[in-house]
A and B are shown apart, each in its own frame.
Chain A
Amino acid sequence: MRAVRTTAVTALAGAAVLAAVTGCTAKSDAKAEGDGVTVTAKDDSCEVSKKEFPAGHVTLNVENRGSKITEVYVLYPDDRIVTERENIGPGTKATLTAEIKAGSYAIVCKPGMTGAGIRQAVTLTGGDAAAPKRSAEMDAAVAAYRQYVQAQAEETLPKVKVFTDAVRAGDLEAAKKAYAPSRIGWERTEPVAESFGDIDPKVDVREDGLEEGQDPAKDWTGWHRLEKALWQDKKITAREKQLADLLDKDLADWVKRVGTAEITPTSMANGAKELLDEVATGKVTGEEERYSHTDLVDFKANVEGAQKSFDLLRPVATKNDAALVAELDKQFAALNTLLDKYRADKAGYDFTSYDKVGDPARKELSDGVNALAEPLSKLAAAVVK
C-alpha cells in the first residue's frame, strides 16, 4: 500500500485510515476493523470488546481514554508476557499484534504503568488449527534457537557461581574478575529472559531502574548492585553475600523456566533488533556498567546473541530478501571487526575498560551500531513476508 500524507489530511475520518491503523497487511486481505479486539483502557477499568475470539493472528486496538499513561499486556496463565505495549498516552490509540495459540489468557491494563494492573480473562478459541502454520524451516529455526537459549542459560550458572563464590569468600579481586564473564550468557539471550517479566528486575536492574517507593538498600538486587559494591564501595559485607545467594537462586529459576518461553520467528528477529537497541541505549553510552566499565563485554555478547538469531533465520530471510541478508552479513562483520580493536585475544572476552574509550571512538562504535541496527530492524518483515 502506497501511503500518501494526503490521505491523512483529506480522509481523517475515513475507513481507509482506520484500516491502516489496525495494522492490516497486504497479506491479511484488508481485514475490516471489526476483526480486531478493542481494548478501552481507563484509569479504573480495562474493557475488552470480546472475551472470546479466534486464535491465530490477533490484533488488539487499544484506546487510552483515561487520564494516565498506560500499558497493555497479554499474559499467559503463568503471567509470562505474550505481547505488550508501553507508554500509551491519554487520548491516544495503539495496536498490538501477535500470533497467539488457543487457550486462556489475561489482558491487563496498567494505568500509570505501575502496580498489578486491571485484568480481563479472555479465551482464544479454535485449537491448533487456528494457530499459524509455520514452515518446517521456520520450526527448525525456532527449535534451534530454543536450544541455544537453554544452553546459554545452563552454561551461565557455573560462571555465575564462580562470581558468587568469590563474593561469599569476600575475595574482592576474584569477584571483580568473574563479574563480566558471568553475564555473557544472559546478555546474549536477554530478550527471552525479559519476556518473563519478573526475572530481569531481580537480576539486571540498575539503581535508577527501581520503581518509586522501592528502597535501594532493601529492594535493589542482582548483578549491578554487586557491581556497585565491588567497584564503588570496594567492600563485601554480609549483605553482599546474601545478594550473591539470591542471584544464584533467581538465575536458577531463569534456567528452569527459559525452556518454556514462547518463541516465534518474529520474536527471534525482533529479539535480535532489541539486543542492538540495548547496545545503543545502554552500552555505547557506558550506562550499563557504570562502575565496572565492562560495557564492551556486554556489547559483544549482545551482538553475538543477535547474530545467532539472524544466522538461524538466514534460510527463511534469504528467500524473501537476499539483499538484506547480504547487508546484515556485512554489517555484523564490520561491527565485530570494530569490537576486536578493543581486545588483544580474539578468543577471549577481555575488553578495554570503557572509561578508557574516548568520545571519537565511542562515536565510531555508535555509528557501527546504527549501521547494523537499521537493516536489522527489517529482519522481522523479511521473515514473515
Chain B
Amino acid sequence: MTPEPTPGGGPARRTVLAGGGGLALGAAVAGGAAALTRDGDATAPVADSGAAVPFHGPHQAGIATAVQDRLHFAAFDVTTDDREKLEKLLREWTRAAERMTAGREVGEGAYGGLPEAPPDDTGEALGLKPSRLTLTIGFGPSLFDGRFGLKDKRPGALVELPRFPGDNLDPARSGGDLCVQACADDPQVAVHAIRNLARIGFGTVAVRWSQLGFGKTSSTTPDAQTPRNLFGFKDGTRNVAGTDTAALDRHVWVGAKEATGGGAWMAGGSYLVARRIRMNVETWDRTPLAEQEDIFGRDKKEGAPVGKAKEHDEPFLKAMKPDSHVRLAHPDANGGAHLLRRGYSFTDGTDGLGRLDAGLFFLAYQRDVRSGFVPVQTALAKADALNEYIQHVGSAVFAVPPGVRDADDWWGRGLFS
C-alpha cells in the first residue's frame, strides 16, 4: 500500500496533525500494518488517533474496516428522472466523500469565500480529526425500476426481502433508491458527512429516512471483545473478521464469476441488509437473568456460549434451548451462512408512552442475501425466543458496488457505463 495522494491538493489535515501532535499516524495510515493497535487490529489505527481511512481501493471502505464507534446512515429517493443528473451527483458525491474522509472540507470550504454566498461546507467538522470516517454507498432495488434505464443492470442477487413473520415495517423507514453509510469515531464527523451529501443532493435526491447509531454492537477485529447490545449481551461474536481475506472472499465480496451479465459491475462489491429492530428494553429488563441467558444461549458476564468459558469458544448448539438466539443464528444451523455484521445501537428518545425508542440498527454485509440474511432471518423469525422482546420496524436492501479505484473513478461508474 502506498500513501494516497491528497484529494483536491493541499496538505491533508491528518498529516499536519500527525506532525504537530508528534504521533506517527502518517506511518500508520501509509503502512497499514506498521502500527499495532490496542485492539490488536493490524489494519486500522486506534480509534483515539482519529486518523483517516483510505477512500480508494478495490472494495469500499466501511465494510471490512474495523468498526467505528458511531453511525449516521441515510437512505435517499432519487427525485429526478434525468439519468445524467444522477450520474453528475454521484461524481460530485465521490469527490466530496474523498475530501471528507481525508478530513477536509467540502468544495471551497466553510469560510473565506464570497460573503454573499453560503459556504460550500457546513463547518461543524472544522477542527475535528478525520476520525476514521468511511462513506459507503449502496443502490436499492427501486433504482433499477426503469426510470434510469438500469433494468438490465439489476443483479440477480439484488432481491427484495421476503416478508418475515412478525415484521411491522414502516414504509417511511424502509427502502430507498440509494443509501450512504457514514461511520466514524466522532459522531459529529459522521453527521457532518451525511448532512453535506444531502445538501449537495438537493434537487436530485431527497433523504427518505436516516438513522443515527450511538454505539457499535459488532466487531470485525477477531481478538476484540464483542460490544454489547442494549439487552446487555454480546451477540454476533462469530463475525467475519476484516483481516480474514479468505472469509471475506467466501462470505462478503461478490466474486467475478458470479457477477455476470448485467450484474458484472458488482464484482468486488457486496450486499447490505439494513433492519431497524426496535427493542422493548423495559420488558426485557424485568426478565430474570436465567431466562435472559437462555434466550441468547450465552452467559451475561462473558458472553460465553452455554457450557463454555469464553465468548469466542466454539458453541455446542445442542446444549442450548432449541429457540435460543445463538443456536438459531449460528452458521452451522443455516448451511454455513456467515454475515459481516456492522450494527449499531440507537435511541431516538422516547416513544410518547415513556418507553425508550431504542434498539439495534442491524447492518449486515454478505455475498448474496439469498444464502445470507434470508435463511438466517427465516429461522429467527419463526422460532427465536428473542422475538417476544423485539420487532423489526424498518428494512432495506442495497447492492454495494466495489471500491472507487482512484481520483478519476466514481461511485457507480461500473453501473452507469
Chain A contacts to B: CB under 8 angstroms = 1-6, 8-10, 20-21, 23, 25-27, 95, 97, 266, 269, 327, 331, 359-360, 363, 367, 370-375, 377-378, 380-381, 383-385
- Whether a CB of chain A sits under 8 angstroms from the CB of B298 is no
Cross-chain contact B13 with A4 (CB below 8 angstroms): yes
Cross-chain contact B118 with A378 (CB below 8 angstroms): yes
Q: Which residue of B lies closest to A380 (CB)?
A: B116
Cross-chain contact A5 with B112 (CB below 8 angstroms): no
List chain B residues, Cβ under 8 A from A367. Answer: 77, 79, 206
Cross-chain contact A381 with B114 (CB below 8 angstroms): yes
Alpha-carbon separation in the docked complex, A153 to B126 (Å): 45
Cross-chain contact A97 with B115 (CB below 8 angstroms): yes
27 A-B contact pairs sorted by A residue (CB < 8 Å): A1-B109, A1-B113, A2-B9, A3-B112, A4-B13, A5-B13, A5-B103, A5-B105, A5-B125, A6-B12, A6-B16, A9-B17, A10-B20, A21-B111, A23-B115, A25-B113, A25-B114, A27-B114, A360-B172, A367-B79, A370-B202, A370-B203, A371-B79, A377-B117, A377-B118, A381-B116, A384-B114
Q: Which residue of A lies closest to B119 (CB)?
A: A3
Cross-chain contact A10 with B16 (CB below 8 angstroms): yes
List chain B residues, Cβ under 8 A from A266. Answer: 116
List chain A residues, Cβ under 8 A from B16. Answer: 6, 9-10
**Shortest Cβ distance from B137 into chain A, in angstroms?**
20
Cross-chain contact A2 with B109 (CB below 8 angstroms): yes
List chain B residues, Cβ under 8 A from A21. Answer: 111
B108, B199, B202 interface centre (most CB from chain A within 10 Å): B202
Cross-chain contact B115 with A3 (CB below 8 angstroms): no
- Whether a CB of chain A sits under 8 angstroms from the CB of B10 is yes
Chain B contacts to A: CB under 8 angstroms = 8-13, 16-17, 20, 77, 79, 103-105, 108-118, 121, 125-127, 172, 199, 202-204, 206
**Shortest Cβ distance from B229 into chain A, in angstroms?**
31
List chain B residues, Cβ under 8 A from A374. Answer: 199, 202-203
Cross-chain contact B79 with A2 (CB below 8 angstroms): no
Cross-chain contact A3 with B113 (CB below 8 angstroms): yes
Given contacts A9-B127, A21-B111, A370-B206, contact A2 B10 (CB under 8 A): yes
Alpha-carbon separation in the docked complex, A383 to B116 (Å): 9
Q: Which residue of B lies closest to A368 (CB)?
A: B79
Cross-chain contact A3 with B13 (CB below 8 angstroms): no
From B108, B118, B127, B204, contact of A3 by CB (8 A):
B108
From A95, A377, A385, contact of B115 by CB (8 A):
A95
List chain B residues, Cβ under 8 A from A372. Answer: 203
Alpha-carbon separation in the docked complex, A327 to B82 (Å): 13
List chain B residues, Cβ under 8 A from A363. Answer: 206
List chain A residues, Cβ under 8 A from B115. Answer: 23, 25, 95, 97
Cross-chain contact A3 with B116 (CB below 8 angstroms): no
List chain B residues, Cβ under 8 A from A3. Answer: 105, 108-113, 121
**Shortest Cβ distance from B311 into chain A, in angstroms?**
40
Cross-chain contact A5 with B203 (CB below 8 angstroms): no
| Known interface pairs A5-B110, A269-B116, A381-B116; 7 further A-B residue pairs with C-beta atoms within 8 A, sorted by A's residue number | A3-B105, A3-B108, A5-B127, A10-B16, A20-B112, A370-B202, A370-B206
Cross-chain contact A6 with B79 (CB below 8 angstroms): no
List chain A residues, Cβ under 8 A from B121. Answer: 3
Given contacts A3-B105, A4-B109, A9-B127, contact A378 B117 (CB under 8 A): yes
**Shortest Cβ distance from A382 into chain B, in angstroms?**
8
**Shortest Cβ distance from B78 into chain A, in angstroms?**
11
Alpha-carbon separation in the docked complex, A381 to B117 (Å): 5
Alpha-carbon separation in the docked complex, A19 to B361 (Å): 45
Cross-chain contact B127 with A8 (CB below 8 angstroms): yes
Alpha-carbon separation in the docked complex, A381 to B112 (Å): 13
